Every structure is written in structure tokens, then in C-alpha cells.
Amino acid sequence: MPQAPTLIGKLAESLMGRRARVLDLGEPAPGFVEVELRAEAPPGGWRPGHEIQVRASATQGRRYTVRTVNGRDPERVTVLATTQAAGPGAHWIRGLRTGAWITVLTGRHRPLREHGTRRLCLGDGCALGTIDAYARTEHITAIEVSSEALRPLADRWPRHHFVAAEGAPGDALQSWLEQASVEGGLAGADGALLLGHAQSIQRQRRTLVDGGILPRRAITTKPYWATGKQGL
């Protein structure tokens, strides 16, 4: 969630910015917006998992992940974002309109570091687009989302396991992880990708490492937000 003076933001746009047009906006579930863009491809082309950045305000930048790339139109991509937070990114996403022109900042695709062939992918709603971009059918995925979003997301993405949020952020996903570790639901996992809420990621990694499920070196983490800091 980068922050920079207005002048630096404008300079970054001039160096890395690419004009993109909003082709379509959809709401797959309450609190989620799927944005379809046509944007000039960066060096090497767009890839699922490609990270882009936008200036959500004069001094606030927010990062999003390309979920899909159209096979017949390689400059047509989709981004899935959550709008449940009260931060500048959610405000910016809610203000988008079909046909609008925006500027996205990106470079050559740098994929997340991945380990193993049967990976465990955990995250909250803000990580759903990233997890969907990286996860394969053999992976184990679990995502914590609001109760009202649970059913429509499960219908849209049946290969992912969705957990209804209860209590503090990450509590429901932590309960799922502990139960899965006891009941054998993590059998065969040889790597992990933990995304989203920083404090939840720490708990999840401790569970995996202290429980002897995975070594620390097999776990990739990427926090998107943290309790006590400005939201998405």
C-alpha cells in the first residue's frame, strides 16, 4: 500500500504508466468488484498474477493483481478487488465507470516465489484475485470472506473453499487451518502461499511450521494490510 508525494506519483506515472480503458464492471458478490480492462501490454506481455498499481489519490497508491488474461486479446485483462474496506483503494474502485480511462503502473511480470506442486493457498477477500490467478486444481485453497459473499463466491469459484468470517480478521481461517491439519486435509501439501492480513499470516505460518506440516523455507508470504494501519 505505497504512499508517496504527489510529485513522485506523477513521475512514476510518466515512467511506468500505461493507459487502460474500463471495458466492464461486475459484482460477483457483495463487497467485490471485477474490473475488465484493455491496457497496453508491458514488456513480456500480461500474465495472470501480474501486479499493477494505481494512484487511488494524489498521494496514495494501491496494488492489484491481474486475475485473467484474454487468450484471444492479450491486452484484455481482469482484476478482482474487494470494496469492503474504507480506504482510498476501495473508494477509487467504487468510483470507476465503464468507458473510463485510467493509468496503471506496471513493468515486466515478476511472479511470486512458489514452492512445491501441491500448494496450500490461504488468504482473505482481498487476496482472492491473486489466489485464483496462481492456484491450480491440485492446490488446496481456503479464503475467508464475509458471510453475505460466501454463497455467490462459492458458486462462481467452486474449486476454492470459502470460510465465513467470524470474530477478528483471520480467526475463521485459522480455525479451518487447525481443523484441516488434524483431519488430514493438508495431506500432500509441499508448499504454501499465505496472503492478505499480516497478523493472520503470522499465525498461519506458525501453525504450519510448529506443527511440522511445512518448513519455513517452503512458505511464501505477502501481506496486503495490517490491523492498526490504514486499510486498502
CATH number of domain containing 49: 2.40.30.10
Contacts of 133 (CB under 8 A, 6+ apart): 48, 49, 65, 66, 67, 68
Higher pLDDT residue, 71 or 4? 71
Report helix, strand and coil shares of the chain as percent, to nearest 5: 30, 35, 40
Nearest to 54 by CA among 44, 63, 65, 67: 63
Q: What confidence tens digit (pLDDT) does each residue in 83-141 have?
A: 987 788 889 999 999 999 999 999 999 999 999 999 999 999 999 999 999 999 999 99
For residues 123 and 221, membership in a common domain is answered with yes
pTM of model > 0.85: yes
Q: What confidence tens digit (pLDDT) does each residue in 62-79 have?
A: 999 999 999 999 999 999
For residues 221 and 123, membership in a common domain is answered with yes
Mean pLDDT computed over 211-222: 97
Contacts of 165 (CB under 8 A, 6+ apart): 124, 144, 145, 146, 147, 171, 172
**According to the model, what pLDDT value does residue 231 have?**
66
| Runs of H (alpha helix) within 17-157 | 88-94, 128-134, 147-156
For residues 80 and 147, membership in a common domain is answered with no
Cα–chain center distance at 182: 27
For residues 161 and 206, membership in a common domain is answered with yes
For residues 217 and 163, membership in a common domain is answered with yes
Mean pLDDT for the chain overall: 92
Banded model confidence at residue 56, pLDDT cuts 50, 70, 90: confident
As beta bridge partners, residue 122 has 142, 194
**According to the model, what pLDDT value does residue 6 have?**
64
Question: What is the count of structural domains for the chain?
Answer: 2
CA distances from 161 to 31, 100, 122, 124 (A): 18, 34, 10, 11
As beta bridge partners, residue 19 has 103
Cα–chain center distance at 223: 10
Q: CATH number for the domain including 211?
A: 3.40.50.80
Report the C-alpha gap between 178 and 197 in whole angstroms.
Answer: 17
Query: Which letter does DSSP use for residue 217 in this model?
Result: G
Higher pLDDT residue, 55 or 232? 55
| pLDDT reading at 57 higher than 90 | no
**According to the model, what pLDDT value does residue 50 have?**
97
Report the C-alpha gap between 49 and 222 in whole angstroms.
Answer: 13
Mean pLDDT computed over 135-153: 97
Report the C-alpha gap between 65 and 99 in whole angstroms.
Answer: 20
Q: Which domain holds residue 151?
A: 119-225
Report the C-alpha gap between 218 and 70 in whole angstroms.
Answer: 31
Considering the domain boundaries, does residue 185 fall inside one? yes
| pLDDT reading at 229 higher than 90 | no
Mean pLDDT computed over 226-231: 79
**According to the model, what pLDDT value does residue 4 have?**
56
Banded model confidence at residue 1, pLDDT cuts 50, 70, 90: very low
Percent of the chain exceeding pLDDT 70 equals 93
| pLDDT reading at 30 higher than 70 | yes
For residues 94 and 126, membership in a common domain is answered with no
